């Protein structure tokens, strides 16, 4: 993995970082807008409450008659003007010298208006911070008071400018945070690239630790994947070596038979050569088929049609096929299997296992010997043992009999491919079971097959169906 490729992958994440930037910016701007809105509302509410309270105080302490007569202009209780409107008559009062009241703008003001931060200037679109409050007294008299809160307006402008500056700063902060996240993620990728390069070194046996929990998990997954791949490559190489070694002899023999047939003009010789070629090609085909089945079982790709299988019927059917072969060597097959015992298995595959074990027991048994097939229960498993008193297996070969294409020295005199036990173990393990062997040279061997029992509900259903079929 090159750095350019790492950067390319980081560039692929740019849209995600752009989204992060926009999200951060939107959250910040929304927060500032809400804060500015709350500040404005609070200031305006304060201004309106101030004018309303001052007007109430003014009206409570000034009689209406005095006010209409024009007396008592002083003492407006902090108000900058008071306006009385009755039909076509208006009266304006002010005692403020610090604030210049624009009466031209005030004349055009609606006498019933209550508003915050309005402009009395002409033109009226200029920004102003006058707060006016109107109240009806009697049938046709309106009193309107106003006060300019310029200091609060100035405060609001400063707050607004500060929030705008914060918004601009927020853009920079959001951009910086986004760039920081991007650089941090890219740094992790660069660290991973460096460490993975170290791990890919053919002399390295383990990926170095990064002292970073997240990166360590990634490297651990990579180490597991690399170990799995190496194991697969190793098995593939071993399989290829074994296949090449084992196919060389039959292919050479096949070619020799074909050449022998070509050298003779006799049709009888040619027919004999073709027959031998057919036999050798069938042997090769069988070998490849079994090897493919073993590979499927070991890789977990073997398709199994799991169903309740009656153990007694399955073994008895296979034993019947080998009855005449056993009679030729005067070997007795003694089977004691519970007739009501069921296992969860693929019917065809498990028959092949029994066939392999019985065939080996006959093939490597001694003349006049015996084969004993028994069953017993072990917790959630059913154990089937196949014992014989044949030639046995030496201590040096007993661990290698499960290897693909392995044949012991004493077994080479018998016809075979060296794949039977390897295939049997693969099938049994694919069923969730196991197979083992104990043997003594010259005394015989005992193979034990452990298979999971059928579930109780399934077993009951199968027995019920069997009883119904027997009753019919």
User: What class has domain 306-471?
Assistant: alpha beta
Of 356, 364, 365, nearest to 422 (Cα)? 356
Of 183, 213, 218, nearest to 199 (Cα)? 218
3-state secondary structure of 131: strand
pLDDT above 50 (res 358): yes
Q: Are 384 and 315 in contact (CB under 8 A)?
A: yes
Chain segment 221-240, per-residue pLDDT in tens: 777 777 777 777 777 777 67
Q: Say what the pLDDT of residue 16 is.
A: 64
Angle at 36 between CA 30 and CA 39, to 5 degrees: 140
3-state secondary structure of 445: strand
pLDDT above 60 (res 293): yes
Calpha distance 430→426 (Å, rounded): 6
CATH 1.10.287.130 residue ranges in the chain?
Answer: 213-299
Angle at 100 between CA 99 and CA 105, to 5 degrees: 125
Q: Say what the pLDDT of residue 301 is.
A: 65
CATH 3.30.565.10 residue ranges in the chain?
Answer: 306-471
3-state secondary structure of 386: strand
Lookup: tokens for 230:
């190496």
CATH architecture of 213-299: Orthogonal Bundle (1.10)
C-alpha separations of 404 from 189, 356, 420, 448 in Å: 43, 14, 9, 20
Calpha distance 23→220 (Å, rounded): 34
Q: Of 355 and 255, which is predicted with more confidence?
A: 355
| Strand 332-336 with 342-346, pairing | unpaired
**Looking at 25-34, 205-214, 306-315, 320-329, which range is the least confident one?**
205-214
Calpha distance 171→193 (Å, rounded): 33
Chain segment 248-275, per-residue pLDDT in tens: 767 777 778 777 777 777 777 778 778 8
Residues 6+ apart with CB under 8 A from 272: 261
Q: Say what the pLDDT of residue 446 is.
A: 92
pLDDT above 80 (res 6): no
Four-point Cα dihedral 287, 291, 297, 300, nearest 10: -140
| Long-range contact pairs involving 223-228 (C-beta distance under 8 Å, separation at least 24) | 223/199, 226/199
Work out the average pLDDT over 270-296: 75
Of 122, 145, 20, 9, nearest to 76 (Cα)? 145
Chain segment 66-75, per-residue pLDDT in tens: 444 444 444 7
What b/e string do you get for 333-361 counting C-beta neighbours within 10 Å, with b at 16 or more? beeebeeebbbbbbbebbbbbbbbbbbbb
Residues 6+ apart with CB under 8 A from 141: 64, 84, 85, 86
Measured in whole angstroms, the distance separating CA 264 from the mean position of its chain's CA atoms is 67
Q: Are 423 and 293 in contact (CB under 8 A)?
A: yes
């Amino acid at each position: 993995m090159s750095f350019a490729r790492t950067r390319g992958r980081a560039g692929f994440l740019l849209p995600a970082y752009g989204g992060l930037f926009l999200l951060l910016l939107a959250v910040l701007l929304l927060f500032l807008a809400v804060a500015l809105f709350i500040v404005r509302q609070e200031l305006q509410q304060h201004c309106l409450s101030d004018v309303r309270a001052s007007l109430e105080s003014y009206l409570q302490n000034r009689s209406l008659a005095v006010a209409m007569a024009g007396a008592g202009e002083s003492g407006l209780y902090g108000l900058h003007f008071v306006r009385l409107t009755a039909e076509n008559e208006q009266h304006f009062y002010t005692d403020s010298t610090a604030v210049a009241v624009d009466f031209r703008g005030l004349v055009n003001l609606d006498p019933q208006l209550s508003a915050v931060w309005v402009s009395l200037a002409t033109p009226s679109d200029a920004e102003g911070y006058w707060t006016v409050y109107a109240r009806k007294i009697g049938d046709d008299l309106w009193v309107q008071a106003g006060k300019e809160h310029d200091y609060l307006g100035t405060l609001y402008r400063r707050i607004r400018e500060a929030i705008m500056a914060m918004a601009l700063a927020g853009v920079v902060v959001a951009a910086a945070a986004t760039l920081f996240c991007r650089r941090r993620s890219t740094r992790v990728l660069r660290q991973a690239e460096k460490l993975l390069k170290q791990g890919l070194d053919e002399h390295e046996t383990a990926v170095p630790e990064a002292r970073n929990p997240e990166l360590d998990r990634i490297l651990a997954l990579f180490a597991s994947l690399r170990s799995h791949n190496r194991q697969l490559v190793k098995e593939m190489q071993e399989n290829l070596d074994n296949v090449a070694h084992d196919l060389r002899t039959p292919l050479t023999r096949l070619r020799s038979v074909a050449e022998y047939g070509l050298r003779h003009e006799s049709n009888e010789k040619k027919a004999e050569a073709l027959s031998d070629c057919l036999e050798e090609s069938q042997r090769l085909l069988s070998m490849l088929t079994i090897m493919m089945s073993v590979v499927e079982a070991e890789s977990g790709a073997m398709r199994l049609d799991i169903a309740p299988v009656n153990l007694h019927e399955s073994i008895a059917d296979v034993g019947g096929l080998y009855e005449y072969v056993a009679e030729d060597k005067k070997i007795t097959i003694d089977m004691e299997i519970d007739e009501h015992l069921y296992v969860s298995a693929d019917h065809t595959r498990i028959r092949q296992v029994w066939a392999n074990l019985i065939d080996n027991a006959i093939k490597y048994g001694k003349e006049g010997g015996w084969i004993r097939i028994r069953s017993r229960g072990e917790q959630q498993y059913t154990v089937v043992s196949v014992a014989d008193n044949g030639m046995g297996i030496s201590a040096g070969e007993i661990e290698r009999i499960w290897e693909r294409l392995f044949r012991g020295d004493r077994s080479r005199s018998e016809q075979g491919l060296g794949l039977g036990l390897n295939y049997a173990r693969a099938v049994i393990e694919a069923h969730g079971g196991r197979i083992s062997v104990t043997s003594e040279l010259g005394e015989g061997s005992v193979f034990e097959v452990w298979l999971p029992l059928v579930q109780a509900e399934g077993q009951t259903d199968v027995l019920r169906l069997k009883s119904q079929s027997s009753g019919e």
